[in-house]
Amino acid sequence: MLDGELSVHARNRILLRAAEDIFGFGRGRNWQDFKKNISTAEIREFYGVQARLCRPGTDWAAIMPAPDDKLRGLYLGDINPQMILRNLIRFCLYSDQLFVVNPVHNPWVLRPELNPIENPEQFKADTIKVIYFLFQLAPWIESGIVQLIPDPGDFNLDLKRETIQLARARRGEGLSEQESEEARALGHEEFRRAFLSLPDDELLRHLERSGETLTDQQKKELLAHARRELRGDPLALEQSITSSEQGQLVAFRGGTNLETALLIEGITGAFPFTSAASRWQEIMSVRDQMSETARIWSPFAKAFQSLEFRFLNNVDVEFANNVREDGRLETFRSLLRKVGKGTAEIGSPGSLEMYVRDCKDELIGEYQKAQAEWNKIDESFIKWAGVGVAAAVTSGHMIPNVASLSGAALNTIVQLGIRYFRRQQFRRANPMSVFIDLSRKETPGTTLV
């Protein structure tokens, strides 16, 4: 099969195989050796594969998964590898498939000085995070539960430029307060790793310049601590980096803009979910909250968001996959399919009123069943990990919204579809959106009336 005919799922699997082969894991290399000896030649070869899978001019819509009966969630938010992993695992029991914009850099859209093929040296630390992410999600990438969706603008720079301009006109320049806070936290974490990676004499010299005075024994203990920290951190590069060198790139991956996300949703039948308040505000800004559809769904949404839900936490994909294979929360996912995908097939307000009442009645029973299943998941976790480990779940709220797109937003997406994908019609197969709110410590109650 030619590259241009390969599905997204097939491309994801090729990239995963390339990571295993190029970095030597198929030949028995361990992670510790990888962190110590990752080379520029390996990085250049890996991103060469990525470049071949992301050729400009590829028919993006043709390689996307077509809408079907599966419940598909598109994650919107920070797509730094460690953040995606956590958020995908948390939501994995509430969706059949999980889509996320591919966090692997596309060399075709990067300037030479920031390109992993032309300047691979500065991508060592970042590549460790990317490969860690791919390997952690490998079972789900293989099965197609998780699909790494390429940004359509990566195949058509005119589309990329237009969606960026539309996003700027809608939200203005710069990052939101939450995004700025996330970027600062990421920068602090990466600075710490870079500081600990300095050669012994340079690390001590920096401390002395800051006014620290250490005895010889304290210096020895400090250096031993720094090396232990790097060794115990799976995402840390274990190669000395001097301050006079080019340094390591710290990539802030904010995901895609809302306009592009709406195109992805329209082509694939996915619904957006996020745990970032700023992204939820964006999603809500293009919904028609005064529409008849929004009014009809309002009682269901209020009942739903009053409930406290549980999410997997502090677990790896292996445990999460076992839970999914046990069929946990399958009937609750069926309710979400009905709320999202079933709604798109209903025409008249009268029929929708009856449909929403049925969904609200189902919610009561399905929530009770889900709670009982979560108790069984807790028991499974104790058997799997043992007593005394961190809890396998965290709690919060899911806030659904089934309001249709505003007229202006729909017109914008229709025009993009016609211009770039020759789509004369644009109808979202799943009008639902979901916000995962883990910030509320006190639940507003669980009354379903």
In a domain, 123, yes or no: no
| 276 plus 308 within the same structural domain | yes
pLDDT tens-digit map of 137-168 = 999 999 999 999 999 999 999 999 999 999 98
- Average pLDDT of the chain is 87
90: amino acid identity, one letter: R
Which residue bears the tokens 């809500």? 284
| 167 plus 203 within the same structural domain | no
Backbone angles phi, psi at 341, to 5 degrees: -75, -35
* pLDDT confidence tier of residue 237, bands split at 50, 70 and 90: very high
| 162 plus 298 within the same structural domain | yes
Give the model's pLDDT for residue 251. Answer: 78
CA–chain centroid gap for 351, Å, is 36
Strand locations in 80-194 (E): 97-101, 146-149
| 149 plus 202 within the same structural domain | no
Question: Containing domain of residue 348, as a range?
Answer: 68-103+137-173+253-437
Give the model's pLDDT for residue 47. Answer: 98
Asked if residue 31 has pLDDT above 90, the reply is yes
In sequence order, the 6+-apart residues with CB closer than 8 A to the CB of 57 are 155, 156
| 373 plus 427 within the same structural domain | yes
From the CB of residue 10, how many other CB atoms can be counted at a distance below 10 Å?
15
| DSSP letter, residue 341 | I
Q: Is 219 helix (H, G, I), strand (E, B) or coil?
A: helix
| 206 plus 323 within the same structural domain | no
| Bridge partners for 146 per DSSP | 98
β-bridge pairing 97-101 and 393-401: unpaired
Residue from 146, 130, 132 nearest 320 by CA:
146
pLDDT tens-digit map of 377-393 = 988 888 887 655 566 78
In a domain, 56, yes or no: no
Give the model's pLDDT for residue 6. Answer: 94
Whole-number Å distance between alpha carbons of 269 and 73:
9
Residue from 167, 150, 146, 190 nearest 6 by CA:
150
| Bridge partners for 148 per DSSP | 100
Whole-number Å distance between alpha carbons of 98 and 118:
32
* pLDDT confidence tier of residue 3, bands split at 50, 70 and 90: low
In sequence order, the 6+-apart residues with CB closer than 8 A to the CB of 147 are 8, 9, 12, 65, 97, 98, 99, 100, 141
In a domain, 264, yes or no: yes
In a domain, 260, yes or no: yes
pLDDT tens-digit map of 312-365 = 988 889 899 999 999 999 999 999 999 988 887 787 888 999 999 999 999 999
Strand locations in 220-319 (E): 271-274, 309-312
Whole-number Å distance between alpha carbons of 306 and 292:
22
| 210 plus 356 within the same structural domain | no
| 278 plus 405 within the same structural domain | yes
The least confident of 129-133, 246-250, 279-283, 416-420 is 246-250
Give the model's pLDDT for residue 173. Answer: 62
From the CB of residue 352, how many other CB atoms can be counted at a distance below 10 Å?
17
Give the model's pLDDT for residue 246. Answer: 66
Asked if residue 235 has pLDDT above 70, the reply is yes
Give the model's pLDDT for residue 1. Answer: 46
Give the chain's domain count.
2
In a domain, 156, yes or no: yes
Asked if residue 446 has pLDDT above 50, the reply is no
CB neighbour class for 188 (10 Å; exposed up to 12, middle 13-18, buried from 19): exposed
Summarize the confidence of residues 37-66 as an average pLDDT: 95
pLDDT tens-digit map of 252-262 = 777 789 999 99
In a domain, 17, yes or no: no
| 277 plus 216 within the same structural domain | no
Which residue bears the tokens 């301050």? 243
Cα–Cα distances in angstroms (integers) from residue 353 to residues 229, 299, 323, in the given order: 58, 11, 35
In a domain, 241, yes or no: no
In a domain, 13, yes or no: no
pTM of the model: 0.89
| 345 plus 196 within the same structural domain | no
pLDDT tens-digit map of 303-312 = 999 999 999 9
In sequence order, the 6+-apart residues with CB closer than 8 A to the CB of 345 are none
Give the model's pLDDT for residue 442. Answer: 40
| 89 plus 197 within the same structural domain | no
| 210 plus 259 within the same structural domain | no
